[in-house]
């Protein structure tokens, strides 16, 4: 009996000593369990934090995100023309309204003073800089920044997108896309872009063709869903570009209803669709662009404007929302300024709402509102030119032991 047990333990120890077998076991565990095993040993920590295991795990399981805080972007300074408004020295270029301990560490580390203005974030990495030439990538794992080479082409007005690519290697791969914004009074069927690829550390120039006239909205950042970029365009359109398609094509999709709302946001729904939200003084609506049998692929395989349809998933009246949350309503003195702020990543069950300097997380199913506590409450987000952008990082264990060769990023 004893010898049989010892033999069994020996077989078990041998099996767990093999990385392939251990990975095959761990990949079957749900996200709440996997994060607990990083404390077993350094070997388990290194294995779970490795890019190869993370890549395999995320292809099977959906892992949530942690909110680190909110960046405040002032459009008066980003892309400031000659003679335009200058930022006062007393106002930070990259304000962070921290809502977590990790956000506090970033805010008080001093690194944000070296990065310029906030442009975009992806999977925790930050894209910052000063248009039109200086851009930085900051990595929250290595706590290091990487300065991109200067772009080769000058764009008077532009919009951008930032994609961190899921790679099985330990090297972090990303691409930065700059798109030229033409005058909306000219009939243009081409969008000129320049893409920085981290794998080759250079900018690549190309032109995207559209089946109808197109004019992108300047000084905005694209929403990335599954590697596909979504930009706001003129005349109430969304421009959709898949950088992994061989054909250099950009498609237009008409937004539902009028397009002159007070606030508009884009995001990814729980089922991987593009969701669009708008708000006015009365309330908000959330729409979803339904996928066809081949997803959104038909957008890039036809010369005609897509016939994909939007469906209304949720409608909210702000007065009713405040009635259901009387405790918060009595504390909020600026309820007339209520507006949609942002979606949670890959989430259709909640939405961020802003009212003055207060930020709430509204739970769609229950109608309950949750106050988001953050540092830096005050006048920094009261300006009409300020856009508040949530900063998320995937809730995945991380270790500096797994930074790989690309430690400079």
Res 216: pLDDT: 95
* CA distance linking residue 52 with residue 19, whole number of Å: 12
Within a 10 A sphere around the Cβ of 408, how many other Cβ atoms?
13
Res 405: pLDDT: 43
Please count the CA atoms within 13 angstroms of the CA of 199 that sit on its side-chain side: 11
Contact 255, 237 (CB under 8 A): yes
Res 347: pLDDT: 87
**Percent helix / strand / coil, the chain, rounded to 5:** 20, 35, 45
In the chain, the N- to C-terminal Cα span, in Å, equals: 55
Res 46: pLDDT: 84
Task: Give the bridge partners for 196, in sequence order.
Answer: 176, 203
Cα-Cα-Cα-Cα dihedral sign, residues 186, 223, 358, 330 = positive
Q: What SS3 class is residue 310?
A: strand
Res 6: pLDDT: 53
Residue written as token pair 């997380």: 361
Res 53: pLDDT: 86
8-state DSSP, 76? T
Confidence of residue 168 (pLDDT cuts 50, 70, 90): low
The verdict on whether omega for the bond into residue 91 sits within 30 degrees of 0, i.e. cis, is no
Confidence of residue 379 (pLDDT cuts 50, 70, 90): very low
Count, residues in the chain:
409
Mean pLDDT of 5-15: 55
Query: What would the two tokens of residue 208 be?
Result: 């995207």
Confidence of residue 55 (pLDDT cuts 50, 70, 90): confident
Which of 96, 87, 192, 196 has the alpha carbon at shortest distance from 140?
Answer: 96
Q: Please say if the pLDDT value at position 106 is more than 90.
A: yes
Res 56: pLDDT: 85
Tell me which H or E stretch contains 323: helix 318-324
| Phi, psi dihedral angles at 51 (to 5 degrees) | -65, -35
Confidence of residue 11 (pLDDT cuts 50, 70, 90): low
For CATH 2.120.10, the residue range(s) in the chain are 62-402
With pLDDT > 70 as the criterion, what percentage of the chain qualifies? 83
Res 409: pLDDT: 42
Task: Give the bridge partners for 161, in sequence order.
Answer: 177
Res 164: pLDDT: 93
Res 16: pLDDT: 66
Q: Please say if the pLDDT value at position 335 is more than 60.
A: no
Q: Please say if the pLDDT value at position 226 is more than 80.
A: yes
Q: Please say if the pLDDT value at position 407 is more than 50.
A: no
| Phi, psi dihedral angles at 338 (to 5 degrees) | -60, 135
Q: Name the fold adopted by 62-402.
A: Neuraminidase (2.120.10)
Res 169: pLDDT: 67
Average pLDDT, the chain: 84
Res 375: pLDDT: 83
- The lowest-confidence range among 294-298, 386-390, 403-407 is 403-407
* CA distance linking residue 216 with residue 183, whole number of Å: 9
Query: What would the two tokens of residue 148 be?
Result: 């991109």
* CA distance linking residue 190 with residue 180, whole number of Å: 10
Res 10: pLDDT: 53
Tell me which H or E stretch contains 194: strand 190-197
Question: Where would I find the beta strands (DSSP E) of 199-299?
Answer: 202-209, 223-225, 228-233, 237-241, 250-254, 263-268, 274-279, 283-289
pLDDT digits (tens, 9 = 90+) for 282-310: 999 999 998 876 667 667 765 555 568 89
Within a 10 A sphere around the Cβ of 79, how many other Cβ atoms?
19
Q: Please say if the pLDDT value at position 78 is more than 80.
A: no
Q: Please say if the pLDDT value at position 362 is more than 80.
A: yes
| Phi, psi dihedral angles at 319 (to 5 degrees) | -65, -40
Three-state SS for 324-368 is HCHHHHHHCCCHHHCEEEEECCCCCCEEEEEECCEEEEEECCCCC
Directed axis angle between helix 42-49 and helix 51-58, to 10°?
A: 60
Contacts of 402-406 with CB under 8 Å at 24 or more apart are: 402/46, 402/49, 402/50, 402/51, 402/170, 403/139, 403/141, 403/142, 403/170, 404/51, 404/169, 404/170, 404/171, 404/172, 405/170, 405/171, 406/170, 406/171, 406/172, 406/173, 406/198
Residue written as token pair 């992806």: 122
Res 295: pLDDT: 67
Mean pLDDT of 151-162: 94
């Amino acid at each position: 009996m004893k010898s049989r047990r010892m033999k069994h333990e020996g077989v078990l120890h041998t099996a767990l000593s093999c990385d392939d077998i251990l990975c095959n076991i761990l990949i079957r565990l749900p996200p709440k369990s996997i994060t607990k095993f990083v404390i077993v040993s350094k070997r388990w920590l290194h294995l779970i934090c490795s890019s190869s295991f993370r890549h395999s795990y995320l292809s099977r399981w959906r892992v949530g995100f942690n909110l680190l805080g909110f960046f405040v972007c002032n459009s008066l300074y980003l892309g400031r023309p000659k003679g335009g408004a200058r930022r006062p020295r007393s106002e930070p270029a990259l304000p962070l309204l921290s809502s977590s301990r990790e956000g506090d560490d970033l805010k008080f580390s001093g690194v944000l003073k070296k990065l310029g203005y906030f442009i975009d974030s992806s999977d925790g990495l930050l894209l910052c800089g000063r248009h039109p030439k200086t851009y930085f990538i900051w990595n929250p794992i290595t706590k290091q920044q990487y300065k991109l080479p200067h772009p080769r082409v000058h764009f008077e007005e532009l919009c951008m997108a930032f994609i961190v690519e899921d790679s099985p290697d330990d090297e972090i791969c990303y691409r930065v896309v700059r798109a030229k914004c033409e005058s909306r009074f000219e009939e243009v069927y081409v969008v000129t872009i320049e893409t920085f690829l981290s794998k080759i550390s250079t900018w690549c120039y190309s032109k995207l063709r559209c089946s109808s006239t197109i004019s992108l909205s300047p000084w905005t950042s694209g929403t990335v869903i599954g590697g596909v970029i979504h930009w706001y365009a003129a005349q109430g359109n969304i421009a959709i570009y898949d950088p992994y398609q061989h054909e250099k094509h950009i498609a237009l999709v008409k937004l539902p209803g009028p397009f002159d709302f007070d606030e508009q946001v884009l995001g990814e729904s729980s089922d991987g669709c593009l969701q669009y939200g708008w708000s006015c003084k009365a309330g908000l609506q959330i729409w979803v662009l339904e996928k066809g049998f081949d997803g959104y692929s038909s957008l890039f395989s036809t010369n005609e404007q897509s016939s994909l349809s939007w469906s209304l998933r949720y409608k909210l009246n702000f007065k009713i929302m405040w009635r259901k949350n009387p405790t918060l309503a009595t504390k909020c003195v600026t309820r007339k300024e209520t507006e949609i702020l942002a979606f949670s990543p890959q989430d259709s069950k909640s939405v961020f709402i802003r009212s003055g300097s207060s930020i709430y997380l509204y739970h769609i199913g229950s109608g309950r509102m949750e106050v988001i506590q953050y540092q830096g409450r005050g006048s920094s987000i009261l300006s009409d030119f300020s856009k508040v952008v949530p900063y998320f990082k995937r809730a995945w264990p991380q270790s500096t032991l797994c930074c790989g060769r690309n430690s400079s990023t």
